[in-house]
Structure 1
Amino acid sequence: MTMKPALIALGVAALAACSSTTTRLSAPVPPSTLNLTARMSTVVLRDVTLPAYAASEEIALETAPGVITSDGDLLSADDPGRGVTLALARQMDDILSAVVGPEPWPFPSIPDVVVDVRVTDMLGSAVTGTYRLSGQYFIGGDGIDYPNSAQAFDYVIPMSAPDQSGAVAAQGVALTRLAEDIARRLGR
């Protein structure tokens, strides 16, 4: 009888030794001080599209010119596409007098305006010590007559350290700038 609890304890200890710890890094987005009156009541932000390396849970970093690596030891705290979409929607909602929500639109009515963000570069560089967020966003009327427009964006943010943590912190600053620029287009 004393042998059985000892075997169970040994088995539990063996399982605990086999399990590994996953380290995840959250991406805080600094709040904006911008406050604008929107030219519409509601805005939906479509799911933000990211390049493959940025859409992965593994946090990528440029380690040599044109070489993007990730070691799998440090992962994003959230699905990157979901996290970026929610961060931008939250920032835009805080900045604008309009109700801003992510896709799928959480309300029964049709939103007045649709914003679609497509990212081409979203990467920190250990080579340059900077983080780059670039791409294009599109704004168009859905529930109201609103002129369609397309706007390119390109932000280069200094990183506090030339590593993944520095890249994630700089990403938050870049997302705040993008939210502010989109909000300026929608506000007056």
Structure 2
Amino acid sequence: MILRVEKLNLSFEDKSGKRKILDDVSLSVEEGEIVGIVGLSGAGKTSLLRTLNLLQPVDSGSIFFDGLDIVGLKESEVRNVRKKIGVVFQSFNLYRYRTLYQNIAFPLKIQGVSKKEVEERVMNIATELGLEHRLRAYPSQLSGGEQQRAAIARALVMDPKMILLDEPTSALDPKTT
């Protein structure tokens, strides 16, 4: 099992008081399994995804990733876990002053991967996602679908054990989806 969540609780404080966002959420995901989380806008889907790689601390509960309870880990340990989890957010989070190639290569470069391996991995994933002809373009020169695929490429280029996607097909046409 790649992921097991047990009795996860999350709340936020706002002007009207404390609001429970996640209430006793439990789920499990087997390696290779694809799971979709469906719900109304504001139901807590994005908050749940943010807790699964500890971008959002939880009030209580456990998150077991690859057999390790990651809730309560030290920040250095959390960084090591995050290297194994690819994340694609709704807003794509592309660096606007970097080319598509540089955006995809970024996580590899900060991990110290050799220039040759970076080139090979970026070209492979760009080709797989139909972006190889756009590698010199900047995000502002890309369509919404190309930006979405660029964000997906950046997450996949690290060969993660798990990938979290927040509305991954919102900007893609049916064929690309």
Question: In which range does the TM-score fall when normalised by the shorter chain?
Answer: under 0.3
Q: Which is strand-richer, 1 or 2?
A: 1
With normalisation by structure 2, the TM-score equals: 0.22
| Structure of higher CA gyration radius | 1
